[in-house]
Amino acid sequence: MHNLTLSVIIPVLDGAGYLPACLNALKLSQGREHIREVIVVDDCSSDGSAAVAEAAGATVLRTPGRMGPAAARNLGAAHASGDLLVFIDSDVCIHPGALARMRERFENEPDLDALIGSYDDEPAAPGFVSQYKNLMQHYVHQNGRREATTFWSGCGAVRREVFLSVGGFDEAYRRPSIEDIDLGYRLLKQGHRIALDPAVLAKHLKRWRLTSLLHSDIFDRALPWSQLILRSARLPNDLNVAVCQRWSAALVVAAAGLAGASVVWGIIPALAAVVLLGATILLNRRFYGFLAAKRGWIFALRAVPLHLAYYLYSALTFAAAAAAHPFSRRPDHPAEFSSSIPSLYEAGSAVGAVPVGAERQTYAARRSRFSLRSNSSSEISPRA
């Protein structure tokens, strides 16, 4: 199919500081004439994010309450009319050629249902933690399988009818978490094809602190992702859960155990722990070499302890999730309560459902609670 149109959907929560750059990058995009609409979904921000989006000429939708980015994206998708739904985070600036590259891939590959890109290797936020985290995310995606095993909502696109057919994002995820990974699992489960294109680049603006990195890695990523892996019984050899990553985590956990044993048993367990850590560093030498090439060897050496700690707390989180899994009552996906989910749209109207936890909430019901104000930015607000 040629002449594909794009609906760009951006969820935002208190992102007024990043949003102008995000929206300006879209205005500078090659092929922007194919953008049918830019939809910013404000999840009850308190910093004027909606006003920023309105001033930039975006279509602004507002959630009726703090619902999370999964629900915000679904709300945007419910109002979108483009052939491709392009999801971008509000703290991301896409490169000028990203949208054109997306369209080209979808137009030339009729069997392609979804596509994800990558952060670039020049993160905007200064500071060691921000540079380390964003460069790590770039490296992981650049070295991921081109036939992808998941979706990524930071900079990703999916055919509109495909997105609607699988029920959209799981709104049980009320924080920025793994709702995109969950969507990717369901896309693949239903036989859809996802590609990773390292040429589709975006700059990440987010500033990380050590505390925010640890909280996000453990509670928003490792824990829910471990639970998803256990529920779905699916552990692809790709990205953060590739086999080399699993081996690295196992080696670090073993080294930590030996280090603890050295308190009682002396030098031999300690030496064994050093050997295992050395093996882990050797296994990840390409990543450390990449960091050195980008920021120098001092930066790379500073990153080693943080990277080893990442393997340790990720592995321990998975172990905790596995121990709790037999007592979990949550199904593989809320859709499993039903043999099928009706399409969100039939004949162009919102009639279907996207699940919220164990319940299913229809877009038709949600949209009936909203009215469209007739102004230049198409603001959506709840009826009185």
Same-domain pairing of 133 and 261 = no
Angstrom distance (rounded) from CA 37 to CA 7: 5
Same-domain pairing of 181 and 307 = no
* Residue 282 reports pLDDT greater than 80: yes
Same-domain pairing of 253 and 361 = no
Per-residue pLDDT tens for 166-215?
Answer: 999 999 999 999 999 999 999 999 999 999 999 999 999 999 999 999 99
- For the segment 251-256, the average pLDDT, to the nearest whole number, is 97
- Domain housing 276: 239-327
Same-domain pairing of 137 and 279 = no
Per-residue pLDDT tens for 58-100?
Answer: 999 999 999 999 999 999 999 999 999 999 999 999 999 999 9
**Domain with 188 in it: what CATH number?**
3.90.550.10
Per-residue pLDDT tens for 139-149?
Answer: 999 999 999 99
Same-domain pairing of 375 and 309 = no
H/E stretch holding 345: strand 345-346
Same-domain pairing of 61 and 103 = yes
Q: Are 238 and 144 in contact (CB under 8 A)?
A: yes
> Which band of pLDDT confidence, cut at 50, 70 and 90, is reported for residue 31?
confident
- As a whole-number percent, the residues of the chain with pLDDT over 70 amount to 85
Give a yes or no: residue 190 inside a domain: yes
> Under 8 Å CB-to-CB from 315, ≥6 apart: which residues?
249, 250, 252, 253
Give a yes or no: residue 223 inside a domain: no
Same-domain pairing of 250 and 117 = no
Query: Across-strand partners of 372?
Result: 380
So what's the pLDDT on residue 1?
54
Give a yes or no: residue 137 inside a domain: yes
Same-domain pairing of 254 and 198 = no
* Residue 102 reports pLDDT greater than 80: yes
Give a yes or no: residue 97 inside a domain: yes
Q: Which DSSP string corresponds to 66-123? A: ---HHHHHHHHHHH--SSEEEEE-TTEEE-TTHHHHHHHHHHH-TT--EEEEEE-S--
Query: Across-strand partners of 93?
Result: 203
Same-domain pairing of 80 and 18 = yes
Same-domain pairing of 301 and 175 = no
Length of the chain equals 384
Q: How many domains does the chain have?
A: 2
Report helix, strand or coil for 377: coil
Q: Are 324 and 230 in contact (CB under 8 A)?
A: no
Same-domain pairing of 290 and 345 = no
- For the segment 113-142, the average pLDDT, to the nearest whole number, is 96
